[in-house]
Amino acid sequence: TQVISQKYGNNHVAIATTTDSVRAYQVFSSIPDDKSSFALYQAFIGLRLQSDAAVFDPQVATLMDFTGDTKYGSHFMYLLPDSTNSALVESTLYRPHGQNPKEIEAFHREWLQRYISKLGTKIQLTGEERGILPLSAKPVDRFINPRTIAIGSRGGMLRASTGYALQNIDNDCQMIAEC
């Protein structure tokens, strides 16, 4: 679903989307207002892997391993095993604005395929996650207007150096809930 328009009344916001329309007293928005203002993006594709053999150590996670290819920018991977036969492997790339998304997608897919082939056993893909996070260290205005508060990446919750946001978003949600 995509937001088509937002109209602000005295005591509500009317939002039209591609599938519905709603009225709300307060809106929380994580939609970036100007995507071209971000100099750097973190693009990632993660695959859930299931193996026939015990190839993962659930006691050992690999975080921010920068030994990958740097053809398109700073690239790292991480591996989060949840059993000896199951793990999430993710290819992550910091890239400047304007790079061809199809080339980036192909880069991630090729890298992940090389990683899987090195495991030396039959692998089944059981899930996928993907995203592109805009990174910025610029200060943000949390109040877009009197009825709309910026949250998530638009609200400045992502750390520009890592793209990590979980702790900041958790703290922000607690603060909003207490207001």
- pLDDT, one tens digit per residue, over 76-125 is 888 999 999 999 999 888 887 666 778 878 888 888 888 888 888 999 99
Question: What is the number of alpha carbons within 13 Å of residue 136 lying toward its C-beta?
Answer: 18
Q: Quote the pLDDT of residue 76.
A: 87
Residue 176 has pLDDT above 80, yes or no: yes
User: At 126, is the pLDDT very low, low, confident or very high (cuts 50, 70, 90)?
Assistant: very high
Residue 133 has pLDDT above 90, yes or no: no
Residue of 102, 99, 113 lying closest to 69 (CA atoms): 113
Whole-angstrom Cα distance, residue 49 to residue 63?
A: 17
Residue 167 has pLDDT above 70, yes or no: yes
Q: Quote the pLDDT of residue 54.
A: 94
Residue 39 has pLDDT above 80, yes or no: no
Q: Quote the pLDDT of residue 26.
A: 92
DSSP assignment letter at 92: E
Residue 36 has pLDDT above 60, yes or no: no
Q: Determine if residue 63 is left, alpha or beta; phi over 0 gives left, psi from -120 to 50 gives alpha, anything else beta.
A: beta
Q: Quote the pLDDT of residue 37.
A: 64
